[in-house]
């Protein structure tokens, strides 16, 4: 596929099921001069499944810096390059950003060949709103930093989407339960397009109960989605006006501590949020 001017193709590959690859992606992978792959052994399985014999070269997070130059030289020589990652769309939590940036700066074309991506696969099967969403990649490793990100999104509109690995999913779910009110809707999409594909959607309380009861649910690759706050709730922090009325009624009859405790049970909202509101209401008096 040598041209007078080289082209870099960004080619999406499957996230599990090897048939999830477009005809155009197969054409490009067959015809480029070289495929830059995150893991050549891993991609070798996909390429041989589709009888593609194009030479591969490794391009991953550890050699990104020094590997971009030889790839730019190929483009300069009029060769075409396809970038693929281990799964899904390159650059989406995968290497490639620095290469694309340099290739564009050098004046070569970058052509996307779209296809599988765990974000869109999870969103469209979740039953959680898709009109507006924020993707956070992987949340921080420590619980404290993770909770702080979750706290920020707990008050925002739009669905929160993030990736999680089997090593951290359990701790991450415990943090979700801590920060979000039990009644918020969420979804866990696990092993998408693979044999044990599971998409569980319900309230935080329901999803966590199902997740904790089944150890199989804790294995594999995950996308977690959490519903955003709705407009009515946003006006008063995480609480709806009905939640605040309930809290006020209880506070008129019992101590703050008891009122908050009962309000948690009646509204399904977080203890932290209700306690904060109770203190605000007290200081308003
Ligand atoms: N580039 C990929 C994409 O387009 O989705 C994402 C790569 S990122 C390094 C890997 C993470 O994506 C996994 O840890 C998991 O959170 C998510 N993921 C990838 N494949 C998945 C699948 N089949 N089911 C659920 N999540 C998946």
Q: Could you give the CA distance from residue 185 to residue 3 in angstroms, rounded to a whole number?
A: 51
Q: Could you give the CA distance from residue 86 to residue 40 in angstroms, rounded to a whole number?
A: 9
Q: Could you give the CA distance from residue 114 to residue 112 in angstroms, rounded to a whole number?
A: 6
Judge: domain 7-116, CATH 3.40.1010.10.
yes
Can you give the pTM of this predicted structure? 0.83
List the 185-190 sheet strands across, edge first.
Answer: 133-138, 159-164, 222-226, 185-190, 198-203
CB neighbourhood size of 73 (10 A): 11
Q: Could you give the CA distance from residue 77 to residue 91 in angstroms, rounded to a whole number?
A: 25
The per-residue pLDDT for range 45-77, each reduced to its tens digit, is 999 999 999 999 999 988 888 889 999 999 999
Q: Is 221 in the pocket of ligand 1 (CB under 6 A)?
A: yes
The per-residue pLDDT for range 117-152, each reduced to its tens digit, is 999 999 999 999 999 999 999 999 999 999 999 999
The per-residue pLDDT for range 156-186, each reduced to its tens digit, is 999 999 999 999 999 999 999 999 999 999 9
Residue among 78, 45, 43, 46 at smallest CA distance from 57? 43
Pocket test for ligand 1, best of 61, 118, 169 (most atoms within 8 A of CB): 118
Is the Cβ–Cβ distance between 243 and 265 less than 8 Å? Answer: no
Measured by CA distance, the residue closest to atom 19 of ligand 1 is 118
pLDDT beyond 60 at 1: no
Helix (H, G, I), strand (E, B) or coil at 12: coil
Question: 185-190 and 198-203: which strand pairing?
Answer: antiparallel
The CATH classification number of 119-229 equals 3.30.950.10
Helix axes 271-284, 241-253, angle to 10 degrees: 70
Supply 60's token pair. 């991953």
Q: What does 42-75 look like in DSSP terms, one character per residue?
A: HHHHHHHHTT----EEE--TTTHHHHHHHHHHHH
Q: Is 14 in the pocket of ligand 1 (CB under 6 A)?
A: no
Centre of ligand 1 to C-alpha 108, Å, is 29
Q: Could you give the CA distance from residue 128 to residue 92 in angstroms, rounded to a whole number?
A: 21
Is the Cβ–Cβ distance between 54 and 88 less than 8 Å? Answer: no
Q: Is 6 in the pocket of ligand 1 (CB under 6 A)?
A: no
């Amino acid at each position: 596929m040598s041209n007078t001017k080289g082209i870099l193709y960004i080619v999406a590959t499957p996230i599990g099921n090897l048939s999830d690859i477009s005809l155009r992606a197969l054409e490009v992978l067959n015809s480029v001069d070289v495929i830059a792959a995150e893991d050549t052994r891993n991609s070798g399985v996909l390429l041989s499944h589709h009888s593609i014999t194009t030479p591969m070269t490794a391009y991953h997070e550890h050699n990104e810096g020094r590997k971009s130059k030889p790839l730019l030289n190929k483009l300069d020589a009029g060769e075409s390059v396809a970038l693929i990652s281990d799964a899904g769309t390159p650059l989406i939590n995968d290497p490639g950003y620095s290469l694309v940036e340099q290739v564009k700066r050098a004046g070569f074309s970058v052509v996307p060949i779209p296809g599988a991506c765990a974000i869109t696969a999870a969103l469209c099967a979740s039953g959680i709103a898709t009109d507006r969403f924020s993707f956070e990649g992987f949340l921080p490793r420590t619980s404290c930093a993770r909770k702080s990100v979750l706290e920020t999104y707990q008050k925002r509109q739009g669905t929160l989407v993030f990736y999680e690995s089997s090593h951290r999913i359990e701790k991450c779910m415990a943090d979700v339960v801590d920060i979000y009110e039990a009644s918020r809707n969420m979804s866990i999409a696990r092993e998408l397009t693979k044999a044990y594909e599971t998409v569980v959607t319900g309230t935080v309380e329901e999803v966590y109960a199902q997740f904790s009861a089944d150890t199989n649910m804790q294995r594999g690759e995950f996308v977690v989605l959490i519903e955003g706050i709705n407009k009515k709730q946003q006006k008063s922090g995480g609480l709806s006006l009905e939640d605040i009325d309930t809290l006020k009624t209880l506070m008129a009859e019992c101590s703050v501590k008891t009122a908050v405790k009962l309000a948690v049970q009646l509204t399904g909202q977080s203890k932290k949020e209700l306690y904060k509101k109770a203190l605000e209401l007290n200081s308003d008096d």
